[in-house]
Structure 1
């Protein structure tokens, strides 16, 4: 069965003047029209890796890798604001709508915001800034660790809610949140304490900001010195990371996360690649 919002292996069912139609290999009644032209070497029943979405009542497929797949959370850029909401760049030819009803505060063209990709009632892809219930609470950090995260909500009575690593729910209490902050802003912080449920309580710290920036610069230098590839990633052992970069695994992940958010690198389980 074709899965909307996910990359999957599909087969070429047939070709028309519109292009190639793909299906799951079982049900020929469900077809997705591929956006891009296929290489002439691709024949009927050959397999293609494609991302599927719905638009104007029909299914479409793209061989491009989107920034997010169904259910994932990440930073996306607003490309246009309309009367029904804001359209954001998903990395495909088709932008995705962030409806006004799923927006927290104001959003601005050209800015990045933390959002989750979901299916609306009509099975079309849509985005929401209401991500709190989908963030994890048991973060792998301890008191005094330096972290980086993105503001996803600001509450005048509680403080600033931050998604550390775009994944873990955390809070900067209002007494710590001195200054002007905006939803979508990415900040460095220090872990002040860890609640019983694993949720982080943070404080803003200049030391964290400078350290993460310095580690990210060091990682960029290493990538440039090694033809744009380092054979370490999320699944690499701490000793391998330390030997190659001089960083702990947590320091490496923070620096790599910063570069990833800035679209400087791609991250794989056992390597990072300079874009």
Structure 2
């Protein structure tokens, strides 16, 4: 049976004056308009199509690529706002995606980008958007491991940091203290799992952390010190933006690296910067 709001592989049953009629199972025959099909398409062939209701709520099959399908999350642009129905979003298809007022967390305006889940309204069989993303997250315990690379969609700002949707399944947190600068809601980026807590909450980072990361960053700091004649005008009080620009890492990771080098007696703190200890000018950081 064809799944509404998702990609399907369907068999063409017969020709129509508007295209081909595909086998939608319990949904009956679904029209695939000629403009979406190869010129030599004919009954008996299989086609990978996206199935959704058209402007008259009839199911239609298209080969156009939506920005998200049912069960996925995306950041979509508001095209217009209807006084009664809600907002209409651009999701890459001919028919815009409705974000009903009941599924909004606050007023939205044309041109705004909003993070939504794409869902199927089972009462009407219509595909809709909802800003109530938490309802559509995977409730099973996350099975990620420490330092695992994951895909992130920045969903919302919180007092602690930014909530991010992880691999289109779970919600995790990027802490303000680990970020060089604020993130933009709707940004997509790669991140890393720092920890999965006993309660299932996920701590995230934008760079790999742990001892292996500190050793590599320690080497970078030592190299910068040697290139600067043994002194670097940066330290644990340096602003996160400067640290990110120079070393491409968070202030927390930078401070961890400084702490490790200090304990190894490779550096000392001097004023607002750090100085290479005597004897450390030509040797690599231990373990590198």
Which TM-score tier does this pair reach, normalised by the shorter chain? 0.5 to 0.7
Instruction: Compare 8-17 and 95-104 and name the one that shifted more.
Output: 8-17
1:253-272 pair list within 5 angstroms? none
> 1:247 — aligned with what?
none
> 1:72 — aligned with what?
72
Contact 1:188 1:208 in 2 (8 A): no
> 1:243 — aligned with what?
none
Q: Counterpart of 1:132 in 2: which secondary structure?
A: helix
1:45-60 pair list within 5 angstroms? 45-55=44-54, 56-60=56-60
- Shift of the alpha carbon at 1:155? 5.4
Structure 2: how far apart are the matches of 1:66 and 1:203?
Answer: 29
Structure 1: how far apart are the matches of 2:186 and 2:12?
Answer: 40
Structure 1: how far apart are the matches of 2:53 and 2:189?
Answer: 35
Structure 1: how far apart are the matches of 2:193 and 2:51?
Answer: 40
Contact 1:105 1:183 in 2 (8 A): no
Contact 1:147 1:208 in 2 (8 A): no
Structure 1: how far apart are the matches of 2:9 and 2:205?
Answer: 45
Contact 1:139 1:168 in 2 (8 A): no
Deviation string 1:195-229 (CA, Å, 9 cap, x unpaired) is 223423468965679849xxxxxxxxxxxxxxxxx
Superposed CA RMSD in Å reads 3.9
Greater gyration radius: 2
Deviation string 1:71-130 (CA, Å, 9 cap, x unpaired) is 122232322222222222222222211112112234343443322111112001001121
- Shift of the alpha carbon at 1:61? 0.8
**TM-score, length of structure 2 as denominator length:** 0.56
Contact 1:162 1:172 in 2 (8 A): yes
1:214-233 pair list within 5 angstroms? none
Q: Structure 1 residue 125 and structure 2 residue 147: aligned?
A: no
Distance 1:107-1:21 versus aligned 2 partners, 3 A rule? same
> 1:8 — aligned with what?
8
Structure 1: how far apart are the matches of 2:62 and 2:193?
Answer: 41
> 2:62 — aligned with what?
62
Distance 1:181-1:15 versus aligned 2 partners, 3 A rule? same
Contact 2:142 2:196 in 1 (8 A): no
Deviation string 1:142-161 (CA, Å, 9 cap, x unpaired) is 48x998744434556x7643
> 1:225 — aligned with what?
none
Contact 2:78 2:109 in 1 (8 A): yes
Structure 2: how far apart are the matches of 1:106 and 1:187?
Answer: 27
- For structure 1, the 5+ residue unaligned runs are 213-275
Distance 1:102-1:18 versus aligned 2 partners, 3 A rule? same
Structure 1: how far apart are the matches of 2:143 and 2:112?
Answer: 27
- For structure 2, the 5+ residue unaligned runs are 207-239, 250-288
